[in-house]
Amino acid sequence: MFTTGSKLLFGASGVSLVGTLLYGILVGGIMGTVGLVSLTTGLIFIAGINAFIRDANVASDDVSQFSGSAAAAPRPGSSVWPLVVAVGGALIALGVVIHEVLTITGLVVVLAASAEWLLQGWAESASSDEVHNREVRGRLAYTAEMPVAAAIGLGLIVFMFSRVMLGVPTKASTIIAFSIVATIVLVAGAVISRARSMSAPRMFGLFAVVSAVLLAGGAVAGFNGEREIKEHKTTAYYAANDKCGEKEISADEHASQTVAGKANSSAEVTLDENGLSYTRPGLNMVQSGVIQLPRSNANNILFRNETSEPRRFIAEMANVDGSPARICTALVEEGGVQLLTVNYSAPSFDPVVEELGGYAFVVAGLDDRIEVIVP
């Protein structure tokens, strides 16, 4: 009925009409509206003319005239690409007005659809056998289409699944993950055992249902938004940005980088009303005053603040050139825990270190200290 060219133009007109209406209602700038209205009117006009002259192809009306010539080979099959190109074009135009993401999407759509269009056109003229032509097209196109489709499909699965997992509470996410794995195993088992008696449409149907569920779940979860997730910044981040100064910032005690350190601490220092004390894993005893740590080794020290004031934990060190050095945690609120990793390269009896007052753990604003002995 409609020729290929007029399909393109009708599609473009339709989309730009919708775009114009949306823009007029939602945004309503005068310049934009006038431009879009002109564009739409122009497109509708051209589309009308094109439909009337049947793509300027007299032959398409009169099959009997040229049977035997290549052009008389079967009528081109139906094609979705003109419509897609039109949509893409409209997206580009809309994007210019609304957001650049739309423009880029439109560009990609136009390019991909144009390529498909070209390919289809080329394949349809390969021979006069439609089945053969489809095969030829498939063979050329699948090498590109399949990987891209698989990537998009996998990406979509991952994305949608991540929306679901981010949407539900932490504990539920575990349960959901395991139920999904169990379902996949069961369904896959069932499918495998019946694989030979399952028809392709049924198999396809199954996948369609699964995809639909996933898409729906993802859409719902995406719409609901993510559960509340705390932003994690590490001690190192704060230490680096604050330089043990006065700026009052506090770090998140759940910062992921500290997990391994916490599980492998050399000591846990606690500040309470009685001052600084520490316990060491493996030894069930509270100590204070002096602590011994190995040299040339990364020692993870946990600092726990049990007082009501926010406190900063500082390790006093020394540089090899004899200048003092200190590293510290961020301010720790009451009940908070922070990790500090200290590595001493010189022994504590080194005169250079002793001159600086030795190694120690202190808390800003308090006199109490723990001397650090490094053999």
Partner 1 sequence: MSHEKVHYRTICNSEHATSSLENMSSRGFRVATTVAGVVATTVLAGCASDAPQDTWKPAGPNAQKIQDLQWPIFLTAGVVGVIVMAFIAFCVVKYRDRGQAIPDQAHGKAWLEYLFIAIPAVILTAIAIPTVGVVMALNDTDDTECVINVTGQQWWWEYDYEVGADGTICGYAPSEVAASPIITSGQLVIPADTKVLLRGTSRDVIHSYWIPRLNGKRDMVPGRVHFLRLESDTPGIYAGQCTEFCGLSHANMRMETVVLESAHFQQWIDNELEPYQAPAEGSLAAEGETTFIAQCSRCHQVNGLVDPGNGNLVVSYPDQFVYSGAAPNLTNFLGRNTFAGATWDLLTPECRTDVWESSPGEFGDKYLAGVSQDCLNEIDLREWLRNAPAKKPMYADPAMLEQSDGKVRGMPYLGLSEDQIDQLIAYLLERK
Partner 2 sequence: MAIIERPSDAVEVVDETTPSVATPESSYGVFRRPVETTGWKSWLFTIDHKKLGIMYGVVAMFFFVVGGIEAMLIRLQLAGPNGTVLSADKYNQMFTMHATTMVFLFVMPMAAAFANYFVPLQIGARDVAFPRINAFGFWAFLFGGLFLNTSWFLGGGADGGWFMYAPNSSVAFSPSNGVDFWGLGLQITGVASLTGAINLIVTVINMRAPGMSLMKLPIFTWMVLVVQFLLLFAIPVITVALFMLMFQRSFDATFFSVEAGADPLLWQHLFWIFGHPEVYILVLPSFGIVSEILPVFSKKPLFGYPLVVFSGAAIGFVGWGVWAHHMFASGLGPISVAAFSVATMAIAIPTGVKIVNWTLTMWGGKLRFTVPMLYSVGVIVQFTIGGLSGVTHSVAPSDTQQTDTYYIVAHFHYVIFGGAVLGLFAGMYYWWPKMFGKMLNERLGRVNFWLTIIGMNLTFGPMHIVGLQGQPRRMYVWTENRAGDGFFNIGFWNLIASIGSFVLALGILLFFVNIYVSHRKGTEKAPLDPWDARSLEWITTNPPKEHNFDRLPQVGHLDEFFHRKYEDRGSDGHHEFHQIATAEEVVAEEENNADGHIHLPSPSYWPILLAFSLPIMAYGVIYNVFLLIGGAVLGLVSFYGWGLEPHTAPEDDYDPPTGTAMEVAAHG
Task: Indicate which single residue of 33, 250, 279, 288 sits in contact with partner 1 (rule: CB under 8 A).
Answer: 288
Q: Binds 349, which of partner 2, partner 1, none (CB < 5 to 8 A, cut-off by type)? A: partner 1
47-106 residues in contact with partner 2 (CB under 8 A) are: 64, 67-68, 70, 72-74
- Closer residue to partner 1 (CB): 203 or 259: 259
Q: Retrieve residue 363's tokens.
A: 């808390």
Pair 302, 337: CB distance under 8 Å: yes
Q: Binds 140, which of partner 2, partner 1, none (CB < 5 to 8 A, cut-off by type)? A: partner 2
Q: Which among 119, 227, 222 is positioned nearest to 172, based on CA atoms?
A: 227
Q: Which stretch binds partner 1 (CB under 8 A): 21-29, 111-119, 223-231, 349-357?
A: 349-357
Helix (H, G, I), strand (E, B) or coil at 295: coil
Q: Is 245 in the site for partner 1 (CB under 8 A)?
A: no
Q: How far apart are CA 70 and CA 66, in angstroms?
A: 9
Q: Is 180 in the site for partner 2 (CB under 8 A)?
A: no
Minimum CB distance to partner 2, residue 89 (Å): 29
Task: Indicate which single residue of 38, 60, 128, 183 sits in contact with partner 2 (rule: CB under 8 A).
Answer: 128
- Closer residue to partner 2 (CB): 38 or 343: 343
Q: Is 266 in the site for partner 1 (CB under 8 A)?
A: yes
Q: Is 108 in the site for partner 1 (CB under 8 A)?
A: no
222-261 residues in contact with partner 2 (CB under 8 A) are: 257, 260-261
Whole-angstrom CA distances from 31 to 36, 38, 96, 172, 374 are 9, 11, 13, 51, 75
Minimum CB distance to partner 1, residue 236 (Å): 15
Q: Which stretch binds partner 2 (CB under 8 A): 126-134, 160-168, 288-296, 349-357?
A: 126-134
Q: Which long-range contacts (CB under 8 A, 24 or more apart) does 152-156 make?
A: 156/215
Task: Indicate which single residue of 99, 139, 247, 295 sits in contact with partner 2 (rule: CB under 8 A).
Answer: 139
Q: Is 289 in the site for partner 1 (CB under 8 A)?
A: yes
Minimum CB distance to partner 2, residue 234 (Å): 9
- Closer residue to partner 2 (CB): 191 or 373: 191
Q: Is 260 in the site for partner 1 (CB under 8 A)?
A: yes
Q: How far apart are CA 227 and CA 170, in angstroms?
A: 9
Q: Binds 323, which of partner 1, partner 2, none (CB < 5 to 8 A, cut-off by type)? A: none
**Rounded (5°) CA angle 347-349-352:** 85
Whole-angstrom CA distances from 311 to 16, 18, 333 are 62, 60, 7
- Closer residue to partner 1 (CB): 40 or 300: 300
- Closer residue to partner 2 (CB): 94 or 342: 342
Whole-angstrom CA distances from 140 to 80, 134, 161, 233 are 19, 10, 33, 50
Q: Which stretch binds partner 1 (CB under 8 A): 7-15, 67-75, 94-102, 288-296?
A: 288-296
Whole-angstrom CA distances from 118 to 7, 42, 81, 269, 363 are 16, 26, 9, 71, 72
Q: How far apart are CA 373 and CA 294, in angstroms?
A: 9
Whole-angstrom CA distances from 70 to 3, 75, 117, 131 are 19, 11, 19, 17
Minimum CB distance to partner 1, residue 294 (Å): 5
Q: Which among 97, 106, 102, 100 is positioned nearest to 31, based on CA atoms?
A: 97
Q: How far apart are CA 145 and CA 262, in angstroms?
A: 48
Whole-angstrom CA distances from 178 to 45, 158, 171 are 58, 16, 11
181-200 residues in contact with partner 2 (CB under 8 A) are: 192-193, 195-196
- Closer residue to partner 1 (CB): 227 or 280: 280
Strand partners, 342: 299
Q: Which residues bind partner 2 (CB under 8 A)?
A: 64, 67-68, 70, 72-74, 126-129, 132, 135-136, 139-140, 142-143, 192-193, 195-196, 257, 260-261, 298
